[in-house]
């Protein structure tokens, strides 16, 4: 525990110190976020620097080779996968800035990039863990899926990264929810290790500490009103971290509950699009993802973030409760 605190504080220090320089550099490059015209209540944020995900990616890249021993490959693959997703997000952000609009990579280009990384992670997992073990929430029993774990991992990674991306829509939301998610994931991993024998337990918890510390430094500059946005660079990175750490800890199904607000963000978009097409233009929500619906209803950004965090904490408590009673 002492070492994890040191890792967290070191990551926080790097991100907090680096953030002002990164913000200044991005402003100099005129790397400002273009706000979609129909998001009229965010127009005052137009031009805010994006690609701020580098602020919390940097500590992991700098400190993981120093603090982590790559004796077994799970932690290394987690970091490489996350950096790969960050590169896809960076390309998307870069194209948006270059064109000065909000249309980056085409959908098929994103899927090719994300799908390629997810496929490699799934293949790696099956090679290292051919029994395909996964833990069932609340029942404390494992299910050995064998080869069928591979398509499940592919789906989990793609769904999670894009759901985290959808949750990144207002100041501090995705960063704060993911910080809480990772802290609770670390607690759950601690309790489930005796059941599933989590590989590279120390390294997994160390990665969580490094990312949480980096996020803490980033959130100093991302809460309302944000000085910088994480961009797809940051949101896809975080989605990959959330997905791979959960999968490698046999907790893939836990994302559905602990990441309830990620799931809800995606569901509201799916429902809205399907209903819009079926009814010829009618809507279920004022705007999606759901946090924008709440904004249209008059909710302040801080209230939305607080609500999402509370729900995430309740979901985490529900998952932890079977291990402590």
| pLDDT confidence of residue 33 | 67
Domain boundaries, the chain: 2-256
| pLDDT confidence of residue 128 | 87
pTM of the model: 0.94
| pLDDT confidence of residue 38 | 52
Quick one: 80 exposed, middle or buried, by C-beta within 10 A (0-12, 13-18, 19+)?
middle
Averages of pLDDT over runs of 10 residues in the chain (325 residues) are 94 97 91 62 73 96 86 87 97 88 83 96 92 91 93 97 95 97 96 85 93 98 91 97 96 97 97 95 94 94 97 96 83
Look up tokens 């946090």; give the residue: 291
| pLDDT confidence of residue 272 | 97
| pLDDT confidence of residue 159 | 97
Cβ 59 vs Cβ 11: under 8 Å: yes
| pLDDT confidence of residue 136 | 94
Q: For residue 223, count other CB atoms closer than 10 A to its CB.
A: 17
The count of C-alpha atoms lying within 13 angstroms of the C-alpha of 263, restricted to the half-sphere facing its C-beta, is: 14
For residues 324 and 286, what is the distance between their CA atoms, to the nearest angstrom? 41
Distance of CA 135 to the CA centre of its chain: 21
Our CA dihedral for 79, 81, 87, 93, rounded to 10 degrees, sits at: -100
For residue 83, the SS3 value is helix
| pLDDT confidence of residue 137 | 93
The pair of structure tokens assigned to 107 is: 């959908």
**β partners of residue 143:** 134
Q: What backbone torsions phi and psi does residue 198 show, to the nearest 5 degrees?
A: -60, 125
For residue 298, the SS3 value is coil
The residues, ordered by sequence, that sit 6+ positions from 70 with a Cβ below 8 Å of its Cβ are: 76
Look up tokens 């031009």; give the residue: 47
For residues 1 and 120, what is the distance between their CA atoms, to the nearest angstrom? 32
- Torsion sign across C-alpha atoms 111, 112, 117, 120: positive
Quick one: 21 exposed, middle or buried, by C-beta within 10 A (0-12, 13-18, 19+)?
exposed
For residues 259 and 148, what is the distance between their CA atoms, to the nearest angstrom? 23
For residue 39, the SS3 value is coil
Look up tokens 């602990």; give the residue: 258
The pair of structure tokens assigned to 263 is: 């799931």
**Which of these, 175, 203, 179, 210, lies nearest to 189 by C-alpha position?**
203
For residue 294, the SS3 value is helix
Q: What backbone torsions phi and psi does residue 134 show, to the nearest 5 degrees?
A: -150, 145
SS (HEC) of 90-114: HHHHHHHHHHCCCCCCCHHHHHHHH
C-alpha gyration radius of the chain: 19
């Amino acid at each position: 525990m002492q070492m994890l605190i040191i890792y967290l504080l070191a990551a926080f220090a790097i991100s907090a110190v680096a953030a002002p320089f990164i913000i200044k550099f991005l402003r100099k490059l005129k790397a400002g976020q273009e706000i979609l015209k129909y998001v009229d209540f965010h127009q005052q944020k137009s031009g805010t620097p994006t690609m701020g995900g580098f602020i919390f990616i940097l500590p992991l890249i700098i400190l993981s080779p120093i603090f982590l021993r790559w004796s077994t490959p799970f932690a290394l693959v987690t970091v490489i996968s996350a950096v790969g997703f960050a590169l896809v997000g960076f390309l998307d952000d870069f194209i948006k800035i270059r064109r000065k609009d909000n249309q980056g990579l085409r959908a098929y280009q994103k899927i090719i990039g994300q799908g390629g990384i997810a496929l490699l992670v799934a293949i790696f997992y099956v090679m290292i863990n051919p029994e395909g073990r996964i833990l069932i929430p609340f029942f404390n029993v494992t299910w050995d899926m064998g080869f069928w774990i591979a398509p499940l991992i592919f789906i989990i990674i793609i769904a999670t990264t894009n759901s985290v991306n959808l949750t990144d829509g207002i100041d501090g939301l995705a960063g704060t929810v993911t910080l809480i998610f990772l802290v609770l994931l670390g607690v759950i991993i601690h309790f489930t290790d005796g059941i599933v024998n989590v590989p590279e337990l120390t390294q997994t918890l160390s990665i969580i500490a490094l990312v949480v510390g980096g996020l803490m430094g980033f959130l100093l500059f991302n809460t309302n009103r944000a000085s910088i946005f994480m961009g797809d660079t940051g949101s896809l990175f975080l989605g990959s971290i959330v997905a791979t750490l959960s999968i490698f800890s046999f907790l893939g199904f836990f994302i559905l509950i602990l990441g309830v607000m990620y799931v809800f963000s995606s569901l509201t978009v799916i429902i809205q699009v399907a209903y819009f097409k079926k009814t010829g233009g009618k809507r279920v929500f004022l705007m999606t993802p759901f946090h924008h619906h709440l904004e249209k209803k008059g909710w302040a950004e801080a209230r939305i973030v607080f609500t999402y965090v509370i729900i995430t904490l309740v979901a985490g408590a529900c998952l932890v409760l079977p291990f402590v009673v």
